[in-house]
Structure 1
Amino acid sequence: MPQSHDVSSEELDCRIEGGVARLRLNRPAARNALNGALVDELDGRLALLDDDESVGAVVLAGAPPGFSAGSDVKELAGMTVADMARHEARTARVARSIQQLGTPVIAAVEGFALGGGFLLAVSCDLVVTTADARWHLPEVQLGWVPPWGLQALAARCGPVLTKRFSWGETSTTGADLHRLGVVEELAHSGGAESEALTIASRLAALPTAAVGATKHALADAVLAGAEVLDARANRMFAENCRTPEARTSLDRFAPTTAEESR
């Protein structure tokens, strides 16, 4: 395969160079929200990169202005509760799959990582964030439990801090998460992706079989109970979405008649 090439799509930019793949979530107008098309594209691209022997590491970033605002609530608002739960279960499977890959995946967070964006980032093997990046789980404020990813966060900071972050009564910063040991690397503003690419290049230079074996040896420690916890959270999410508080939040994001007719 060529040393450097671009295999981008409308939803996801992918540039492979020097053994490192840089994936950028590419829905800037929607703050890189995780709609169905982007989740499907991310799932397929991660699998292809894991099978690509020329790729030794992956950096997952977001097109400016930030990493990801999480689930596309505008898309969810047009779904039935059952369809919303199925969409979130699909996203959960993609996030869990990162730990099952043989290729290390490093999240590079600039600007913000909100909701599912927060949980997707911490589902990666390593996280680089800028000190001023805004991290927040707003789901409880909207009326529902975070429907997946809680085990990935708990593996990093334990259940008590996970509960505190999940209540989301306030946002936090990359600097705070680094101080608490939730994320591994702190970068200067504008430098998260560059730092993540540097780390990825070092990992890509290591023996790939040994790198992959190390990931697989530790996968259970990170994912222990994650599938069961995600399934439970998904059921609770569906129940929460039928409450008046959640319906009020969803109605705020529902497309207007004018938007539907476009």
Structure 2
Amino acid sequence: MGVLGVERRGPVAVLRLHRPDRRNALDAALVEELDAALAAADGDPEVHAAVLTGAPPGFCAGSDLRELAGLPRAGIVRHEERTGLVARRLQWLSKPVVAAVEGFAIGGGFFLAASCDLVVSAGDARWHLPEVPLGWVPPWGLQALVARVGPVAARRLVWGADPLPVRELHRLGAVDELAPPGTAEAHALDLAARLSALPPHAVAATKRALADAAAGPAEALDARAARQFGDDIGTPAARATFERYRA
């Protein structure tokens, strides 16, 4: 298996982030493979739904800061813009995508899961947005979070001072369904299979009808956040963060 595993479970495609040594962090190669796999699943008439998950130890730890630390500032911004584009495309696929989260969903991993149509989380998973404590604004994904929890709760989550328990995230709407630890993928597969049994044209039409409400001004918001992110990563706090990863 490369950095992304692709399996078929009947009409459900399972896409598995597979960089366990880097906690499934989103490097350039993984972002490109994920984009290609999502497009392939969307274009395959035999696929009616997809499950997005991660190899143990967890779902995704966000952007690979070790990779980013070796890039110039403009390269870091370009990487985040590309990742944000892939996450936004989840809303425009014709097929539902269910996130299955075990272990953790941190930073970009949190936003990637929130960008999926439905989110299943293990009851002991750790969800956290550490970007602001690290020294920068999240460069993409804010609209996906706002669509789920509203702007006031989103602000509280993004400041990241106190990670919320997953049950509180479920109450807010960031997580759709809770599962016992170790069963999130099985739960998500069952949910995706039930969606796959519905008339595909009706599922696709419903998703298109709701896309504007869910995605909203995501592109404009991400573009603005990316510009601010570019400024933020030049500040002393952000430079100190990247220096730790260069070591």
The answer to whether the superposition gives a TM-score over 0.5 is yes
Q: Secondary structure of 2:234's partner?
A: coil
What CA distance in whole angstroms lies between the structure 1 residues aligned with 2:155 and 2:225? 13
- Find the counterpart in structure 2 of residue 10 from structure 1: 2
What CA distance in whole angstroms lies between the structure 1 residues aligned with 2:82 and 2:166? 27
Which residue of the other structure, out of 49, 52, 59, is the alignment partner of 2:51? 59
- Map residues 79-158 of structure 1 onto 2, 5 A cutoff: 79-158=71-150
C-alpha RMSD over aligned residues: 0.8
For structure 1, list consecutive stretches of 5 or more residues without a partner in the other structure. Answer: 1-8, 257-262
- Map residues 1-80 of structure 1 onto 2, 5 A cutoff: 9-80=1-72
- Which residue identity does 2:42 align to in structure 1? D
CA contact (8 A) 1:137 1:166 kept: yes
What CA distance in whole angstroms lies between the structure 1 residues aligned with 2:164 and 2:100? 17
What CA distance in whole angstroms lies between the structure 1 residues aligned with 2:169 and 2:122? 10
Q: Secondary structure of 1:172's partner?
A: coil
1:190 corresponds to 2:182: yes
- Which residue identity does 2:150 align to in structure 1? G
- Which residue identity does 2:4 align to in structure 1? L
- Which residue identity does 2:53 align to in structure 1? A
What CA distance in whole angstroms lies between the structure 1 residues aligned with 2:165 and 2:101? 11
Which residue of the other structure, out of 204, 217, 234, is the alignment partner of 2:209? 217
Q: Secondary structure of 1:135's partner?
A: strand
Q: Secondary structure of 1:148's partner?
A: coil
What CA distance in whole angstroms lies between the structure 2 residues aligned with 1:103 and 1:16? 15
Instruction: State the Cα distance separating 1:184 from its structure 2 match.
Output: 0.9
> If you compute each CA radius of gyration, which structure gives the higher value, 1 or 2?
1
CA contact (8 A) 1:130 1:175 kept: no
CA contact (8 A) 1:132 1:175 kept: no
1:238 corresponds to 2:233: no
Q: Secondary structure of 1:15's partner?
A: strand
Q: Give the paired residue count.
A: 247
Offset from partner CA, 1:203-241 (integer Å, 9 cap, x none): 111111110111111000011110000000000001000
For structure 2, list consecutive stretches of 5 or more residues without a partner in the other structure. Answer: none
- Which residue identity does 1:19 align to in structure 2? P
- Which residue identity does 1:98 align to in structure 2? L
The two structures have a TM-score, normalised by structure 1, of: 0.93
Runs of 4+ in 1 over 3 A off after TM superposition: none
